[in-house]
Amino acid sequence: MQDLKARYKLFAISVGTLIQKLPKNTINIAYSNQLIRSSSLPGTNYRAACRGKSLPDFINKLKIVEEELDESIYFLELLEHFNTDLKTPLNGLIKEANELLAITVKSIQTARTKSRNK
């Protein structure tokens, strides 16, 4: 759990660091504002999930993590389209977000299986 908490935090920090490097224009500002929110929420919701009151509560919070990661990927892809000079670091963040998303989806599936077997 601690490793995953650290990965979510590092993801949010890495996104913030990259956003600071983006040229200031209308598109980058709008997409960056959305991305800052969506990239930091998976970590906060994962932490909340770890303190969930029940298995359904845990699953519900992980579903929020899943949605925010998917949103982050979308805005990273949009920024990549408009900032081709930053394609490599944006691709790295998209890759990490996809890995975190896969872990989250698998965790939801595992939790649902446990819930059904009770």
- CA–CA separation, 42 vs 30, rounded Å? 20
The range of the structural domain enclosing residue 40 comes to: 2-116
What is the reported pLDDT for 118?
A: 63
Helices 87-116/55-82 angle, 10° precision: 160
Per-residue pLDDT at 92 exceeds 70:
yes
* 32 CB-side CA count, 13 A: 18
Summarised one tens digit per residue, pLDDT across range 8-56 is 999 999 999 999 999 999 999 999 999 999 999 999 999 999 998 999 9
Region class of 106: left (phi > 0), else alpha (psi between -120 and 50), else beta: alpha
Kindly tell me if the per-residue pLDDT of 78 is higher than 90. yes
Structural domains counted in the chain: 1
Model pLDDT, residue 46? 96
Phi/psi at 28 (5° precision): -60, -40
Domain harbouring 92, CATH code:
1.20.1440.60
C-alpha span between 55 and 109 (Å, rounded): 12
The pLDDT, as a whole number, for residue 40 is: 97
- Please give the pLDDT value at position 2: 66
Give the pLDDT score at 1: 63
Total number of residues shown for the chain: 118
